[in-house]
Amino acid sequence: MSAPATKAQRVRAILELLARAECNPREVTQRLQLPVNKLRSVQRDLEELLVEGEIERLHSGKYRVPPRAALFNPVEALAVYSAARMLYHHASEYNEHYLSALEKLTTQLPPPARRVAVLANEAYRKRPNAATSRTFEMVAQAWLQGRVLKCDYQSLSKKTPSRMELVIYFIELGARNRESYAIGVNRLKGGAEPFVYRLSRMKNAALLDEECHIPQDFHPLKYLSNAWGVMTGQPTRVELHFTPEVKERVAETHFTPDAQVRVLNSGHTRVVFTVGGWLELVHWVLGWGGEVEVIEPEELRQAVMQGHQRGAGVYADMEQSAP
């Protein structure tokens, strides 16, 4: 976004900003990327708009365009509020476009929810703006403009990054970790099968001039239909037995759509479901500690058992080294 060059452009930009955010004169100057010596001009613009009734001044000294009448019923407003909160939690780094989206959602909310959202937006503005923010912009343009994304990708299984030219089929937010993933085909890898790539592992992202197209027969929801998070693979049957002490917690847990949850005569809760590969389940199962036993698959059972053994070893070493 470039700074407005004329007074007319500046006033229009001020109104657009204050329609979605509450700002004092200094914040308006910063948000519009104006030089510091334009602060007095901004103050005059605000006073003129205040006299004309275009904006209002709050007790905090900030200005805003008076909010419109609520567009949503309470349930709709809660849905928009929830979307804004998820966006806030998802964006770990500051990005001006993310902030603009958050502010636009905020303007649609009734006062109680709006107040919380405004405070969250102010907190978000203080987050750092690092490389991941730029990567997200490149990925968004590549997907929505049908362009090929070039980047270096750091896979956890390799010591050095590998070059990638990615045709992005869609972007997914991990439901369990709120991370962003690009699902698509790496042209340099060969083959037509799409894979999942984590945005935070992409470096030096740039757009190629070439256009690309998403196959019409590709269905993103079907692609992730048996994923525990975002990783797909061969369907794997999983059976877990939870202790009676966590019966209520298990009943509140969202598993997969096909999950079968049944309380046994022993008081244990038996959960059976199918996922596309079990690797993403390891840390989630470990999070339950000794309250769950993996019955199958055997590979998951062994991975969880080894995780508990390593954890026990860490604490045993700490106790031995304690004075």
Q: Is 289 part of a structural domain of the chain? A: yes
Number of domains in the chain: 4
Q: Is 14 part of a structural domain of the chain? A: yes
Classify residue 39 by burial, with Cβ atoms within 10 Å: 0-12, 13-18, 19+: middle
Closest to 152 (Cα-Cα) out of 160, 165, 163: 163
Largest CA distance in the chain: 76
The pLDDT of residue 219 is 94
DSSP string, 116-164: HHHHHHHHHHTS---HHHHHHHHHHHHHHHTEEEEEEE--TT-SS-EEE
Domain end residue (candidates: 163, 194, 221) = 221
The pLDDT of residue 249 is 96
CATH of the domain at 13: 1.10.10
Continuous H helices in 161-297: 220-223, 247-251, 281-286
What domain range includes position 163? 131-221
Residue 261 CB contacts under 8 Å (≥ 6 apart), including other chains: 250, 251, 255, 269, 270, 271
121, 103 contact by CB (below 8 A): yes
Q: Is 18 part of a structural domain of the chain? A: yes
Q: What are the tokens at 274?
A: 């199918």
23, 31 contact by CB (below 8 A): yes
290 and 263 both lie in a single domain = yes
201 and 216 both lie in a single domain = yes
- Print pLDDT tens along the chain (323 aa): 678 889 999 999 999 999 988 999 999 999 999 999 999 999 999 999 999 999 999 999 999 998 877 678 899 999 999 989 988 888 878 888 889 999 988 888 888 998 999 999 999 988 888 767 889 899 999 999 999 999 999 998 888 999 999 999 999 988 788 889 999 999 999 888 999 999 999 999 999 999 999 999 999 999 988 889 888 888 999 999 999 999 999 999 999 888 999 999 999 999 999 999 899 999 999 999 999 999 999 999 999 999 999 999 888 876 666 56
The pLDDT of residue 322 is 59
Q: What are the tokens at 165?
A: 């030219």
CATH of the domain at 296: 3.30.70
